[in-house]
């Protein structure tokens, strides 16, 4: 198997497997959960946060890395941008090509809008593509949106905006039908009934999946539908939005774009702007590895903030409890929660089941961190971790279950000689999801007129902790809602001839008054994993760390 000192550590797990598979760890009480989170969750480490000195959320706290970007120098100099030279003109500008962006573009297109979709990489290069476990919807006889609401609202520590949670759960069944009608290949029984399973924090089996390629299958379908609408949706890829443009009334009216291959600046004018730029894992908060795609650098939060949009729960992040911790090549890669919903348990170095495998994500992440810090983790030369005992799955469900239900997990590990059907795997929390973001209402409006936000770039849907399967649901539900709303709005809005970047100039004055120092510029655009490499700078002009 591992071919090193970890073989002996894995033997301890194997020796206790028969005993552990029968052992059911009690759920933690509310008090035990609160105590665990307070002591071990990364969001509770005070020195990793700072107070924002400027902007709509002045006086509130934010992670150090995000605060730097929110208060950094703008990437452009407003005086040097010719806003009279328009390169693209559309009814609706969608920034981001993931699940939320494509859903928004499709629905706006359906309403008759001329849509411009700009994406920093390619359509589908997004966290949506990398989601694995499934998408929640209460569409079975023993379930209801009301029960889904209680699970989601409670799982988010009752911090979610009630109208957003209500929209999320009540739109869920129709979204599953919409995706199915578009061609998403959900797992189904021979009679066509959709297969549903449990996720952490869920009281009913409402997880719909496409094996463990759920996000990729949904993204494939949305991407195809986007390209099928080429008559009304224009896609511009490898192009990052770096600043929102406003009109003379202070309304969003377009964006300044940066071609990341050539470094050229382009101007896009629109009646309605939708930010759907996704998450921030590539900010590597607190030095954590991430499961996120390469472009997840919080650009949407930065642009919206500079334009005057308020953020909500910008200090809340989700660390998925099971990121791969060995070998180095896949450090931080997501090990889907579906592995635990199928029966694999979390085991410490002593071979003990120390927590219920389907506690909410923040609780299980904190539990793993506790085991490692208190000396019960499995030491190795990549990342000290705990075991996830995957061989339990086929002991419970029978031979062939892993290849049938979680083939992506099998394939991810087998190339490094680890057969998850026979050997446990090492896991440690990975930076997975941006719980907070731009504050929106149920139709995705921000406090900036004509600026909508959908998907992971928004805040309030999940409160301060997200349940498995509610992210794919979020991006499609609110991507659709943003597109539907924009499809109504554009008919009553005239394209403005008076475009302005005055808000960027005002932001720079605010920076100077607050005496904010440093050479950081934002938005980040792309993470940088090389230092002082001129060839890298030449190849990707927009990149910075």
Which residues are known catalytic residues?
320, 340
Between the CA of residue 333 and those of 277, 310, 427, what are the distances in Å? 21, 31, 10
DSSP string, 88-99: EEEEEEEE--SH
* 8 A C-beta contact, residue 115 and residue 232: yes
Cis peptide before 327 (omega within 30 of 0): yes
* 8 A C-beta contact, residue 129 and residue 98: yes
* 8 A C-beta contact, residue 468 and residue 320: no
User: Which two tokens mark 358?
Assistant: 């389907």
User: Which two tokens mark 476?
Assistant: 């499609």
d(Cα 205, Cα 195) in Å, to the nearest integer? 9
DSSP string, 13-76: HHHTHHHHHH--PPPPPHHHHHHHHHHH-GGG-GGGEEE--SSTTTTSEEEHHHHHHHTSEESS
Question: Beta partners for 150?
Answer: none
d(Cα 424, Cα 428) in Å, to the nearest integer? 13
User: Number of helices (H) and strands (E), helices first, in the chain?
Assistant: 18, 22
Question: Beta partners for 451?
Answer: 273
Q: How many residues does the chain have?
A: 545
By CB neighbour count within 10 A (0-12 exposed, 13-18 middle, 19+ buried), where does 327 fall?
A: middle
* 8 A C-beta contact, residue 486 and residue 110: no
d(Cα 339, Cα 412) in Å, to the nearest integer? 13
User: Which two tokens mark 470?
Assistant: 């509610």
d(Cα 347, Cα 359) in Å, to the nearest integer? 14
SS3 164: helix
Alpha carbon of residue 219 to chain centroid: 14
The continuous run of DSSP H or E covering 445 comes out as none
DSSP string, 108-133: HHHTT--EEEE-SS-TT-SHHHH--S
* 8 A C-beta contact, residue 460 and residue 452: no
């Amino acid at each position: 198997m591992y071919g090193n000192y970890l073989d002996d550590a894995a033997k301890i797990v194997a020796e206790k497997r028969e005993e552990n598979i029968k052992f059911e760890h009690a759920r933690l009480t509310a008090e035990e959960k609160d105590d665990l989170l307070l002591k071990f969750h990364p969001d509770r480490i005070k020195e990793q946060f700072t107070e924002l000195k400027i902007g709509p959320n002045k006086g509130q706290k934010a992670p150090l890395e995000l605060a730097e970007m929110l208060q950094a120098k703008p990437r452009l100099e407003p005086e040097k941008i010719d806003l009279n030279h328009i390169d693209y003109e559309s009814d609706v500008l969608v920034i981001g090509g993931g699940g939320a962006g494509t859903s928004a573009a499709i629905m706006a297109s359906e309403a008759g809008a001329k849509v411009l979709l700009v994406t920093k990489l390619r359509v589908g290069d997004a966290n949506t593509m990398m989601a694995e476990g499934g998408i929640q919807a209460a569409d079975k006889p023993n379930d209801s949106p009301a029960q889904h609401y209680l699970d989601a609202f409670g799982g988010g520590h009752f911090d979610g905006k009630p109208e957003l949670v209500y929209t999320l759960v009540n739109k869920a069944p129709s979204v599953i039908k919409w995706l199915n009608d578009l061609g998403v290949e959900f797992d189904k029984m021979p009679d066509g009934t959709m297969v549903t399973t449990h996720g952490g924090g869920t009281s009913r089996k409402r997880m719909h999946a496409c094996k463990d390629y759920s996000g990729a299958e949904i993204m494939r379908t949305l991407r195809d539908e986007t390209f099928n609408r080429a008559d009304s949706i224009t896609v511009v890829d490898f192009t990052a939005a770096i600043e929102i443009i406003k009109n003379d009334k202070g309304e969003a009216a377009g964006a300044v774009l940066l071609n990341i291959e050539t470094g050229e600046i382009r101007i896009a004018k629109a009646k309605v702007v939708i930010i759907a730029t996704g998450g921030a894992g590539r900010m590597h908060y607190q030095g954590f590895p991430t499961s996120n795609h390469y472009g997840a650098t919080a650009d949407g939060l930065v642009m919206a903030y500079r334009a005057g949009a308020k953020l909500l729960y910008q200090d809340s992040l989700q660390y998925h409890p099971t990121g791969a911790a060995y070998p180095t090549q896949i450090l931080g890669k997501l090990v889907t929660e579906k592995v635990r919903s199928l029966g694999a348990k979390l085991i410490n170095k002593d071979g003990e089941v120390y927590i219920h495998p389907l506690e909410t994500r923040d609780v299980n992440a904190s539990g793993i961190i506790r085991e490692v810090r208190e000396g019960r983790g499995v030491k190795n030369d990549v990342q000290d971790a705990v075991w996830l005992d995957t061989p339990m799955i086929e002991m419970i469900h029978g031979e062939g279950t892993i290849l049938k239900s979680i083939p992506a997990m099998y394939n991810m590990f087998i190339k490094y000689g680890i057969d998850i059907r026979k050997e446990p795997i090492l896991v440690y929390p990975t930076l997975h999801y941006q719980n907070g973001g731009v504050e929106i209402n149920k139709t995705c409006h921000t406090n900036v007129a004509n600026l909508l936000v959908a998907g992971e770039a928004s805040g309030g849907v999940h409160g301060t902790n997200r349940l498995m399967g509610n992210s794919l649901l979020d991006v499609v539900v609110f991507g659709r809602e943003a597109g539907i709303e924009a499809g109504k709005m554009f008919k009553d809005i005239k394209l403005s001839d008076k475009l302005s970047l005055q808000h960027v100039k005002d932001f720079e004055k605010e920076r100077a008054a607050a005496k904010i120092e440093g050479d950081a510029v934002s938005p980040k655009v792309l993470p940088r994993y090389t230092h002082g490499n001129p060839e890298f700078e030449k190849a990707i002009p927009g990149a910075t760390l």
